[in-house]
């Protein structure tokens, strides 16, 4: 119901409110009701990860080294 009315975005926007009491209440609501759901969605560190893996393919270097002359 709250998600249908874009309530989550509205509560998240309250985190930038000038009144610290409103900010603290918004943070508390987000931690209480939405933080647990996000934890369930996140994959564990044991799963294989897709994406870039820099340095995984080693380029072959000539056995005699490079000759720039």
Residue extents of the structural domains in the chain: 1-32
26-30, 50-54, 61-65: the lowest-pLDDT one? 50-54
Mean pLDDT, rounded, for 15-43: 77
Mean pLDDT, rounded, for 48-69: 66
Whole-angstrom Cα distance, residue 12 to residue 26?
7
Token pair 């975005």 in the structure block, residue: 9
Residue 51 phi/psi, 5-degree rounding, is: 135, -165
- Torsion angle in degrees (nearest 10) through CA of 24, 8, 36, 20: -10
Does 27 have pLDDT greater than 80?
yes
Confidence of residue 24 (pLDDT cuts 50, 70, 90): very high
């Amino acid at each position: 119901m709250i998600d249908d009315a874009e309530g989550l975005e509205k509560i998240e926007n309250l985190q930038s409110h000038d009144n610290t009491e409103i900010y603290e209440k918004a943070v508390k609501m987000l931690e209480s009701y939405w933080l647990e759901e996000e934890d369930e969605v996140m994959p564990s560190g044991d799963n294989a990860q897709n994406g870039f893996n820099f340095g995984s393919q080693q380029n072959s270097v000539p056995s005699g080294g490079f000759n720039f002359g």
